[in-house]
């Protein structure tokens, strides 16, 4: 994973970047991670460079979902919405987490706060209980700092990165 530049970001945003980088590097079998806002927008990704179509055509095929962090964000948002709807229909309270086991991998979606979600794409070899445990640690550490202001800062950061603009918290 190539760590994104955190120059110009607030200490809270840098801390979330560090937590995400740590999650990916410390937990075996994690392919990619996305933090998604309640409205489905990508806030933070383990591989922000995946948004760059030109780089994808020059590089080797990716192991993550169809090559972009935006794709993982879309999947996470959709699964989150579907499970919230199911919980309402079943009158079962709030959704805490969702796990999807596939032949060649796994997908984990966990609520962070205010409708934000943490999504993890894991390899077929990942230990689902270890991934879920570390996701819960991330959520516990990130949930209280993921304020509306921080979500806006993270969105601006990703937008400026995609545009090739200098990164920063100015807005």
pLDDT 10s digits, 122-152: 999 999 999 999 999 999 988 888 888 888 8
Name the domain count of the chain. 1
**In the prediction, which pLDDT does 163 show?**
65
For residue 73, being part of any structural domain is answered with yes
| d(C-alpha 110, C-alpha 98), whole Å | 6
**In the prediction, which pLDDT does 47 show?**
73
Q: Whole-model pTM?
A: 0.80
Domain span holding position 139: 11-163
If one compares 170 and 46, the residue with the highest pLDDT of the two is 46
Alpha helical stretches, state H, 100-147 = 128-142
| d(C-alpha 62, C-alpha 10), whole Å | 31
For residue 68, being part of any structural domain is answered with yes
Percent of the chain with pLDDT over 70: 78
The DSSP code for 29 is: T
CATH of the domain at 98: 3.30.450.30
Q: What is the chain's Cα-based Rg?
A: 15
For residue 95, being part of any structural domain is answered with yes
N-to-C CA span, the chain: 28
By residue count, the chain amounts to 171
Identify the weakest region by mean pLDDT among 69-78, 100-109, 160-169: 160-169
| d(C-alpha 27, C-alpha 64), whole Å | 16
For residue 134, being part of any structural domain is answered with yes
pLDDT at 63 over 60: no
- Cβ atoms of 121 and 72 closer than 8 Å: yes
* Average pLDDT value over all residues in the chain: 81
Q: Coil, strand or helix: which one is 143? A: coil
pLDDT digits (tens, 9 = 90+) for 151-160: 889 888 887 7
- Cβ atoms of 148 and 116 closer than 8 Å: no
């Amino acid at each position: 994973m190539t760590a994104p530049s955190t120059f110009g970001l607030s200490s809270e945003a840098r801390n979330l970047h560090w937590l995400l980088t740590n999650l990916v590097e410390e937990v075996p079998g994690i392919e990619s991670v996305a933090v998604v806002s309640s409205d489905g927008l990508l806030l933070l990704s383990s591989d922000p460079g995946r948004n760059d179509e030109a780089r994808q055509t020059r590089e080797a095929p990716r192991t993550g979902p169809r090559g972009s962090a935006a794709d993982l964000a879309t999947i996470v948002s959709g699964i989150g919405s579907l499970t919230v709807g199911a919980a309402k229909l079943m009158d079962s309270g709030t959704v805490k987490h969702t796990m999807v086991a596939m032949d060649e991998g796994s997908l984990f979606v966990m609520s962070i706060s205010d409708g934000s979600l943490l999504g993890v794409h894991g390899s077929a070899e990942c230990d689902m209980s270890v991934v879920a445990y570390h996701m819960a640690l991330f959520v516990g550490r990130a949930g209280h700092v993921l304020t509306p202001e921080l979500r806006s800062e993270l969105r601006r950061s990703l937008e400026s990165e995609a545009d090739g603009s200098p990164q920063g918290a100015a807005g």
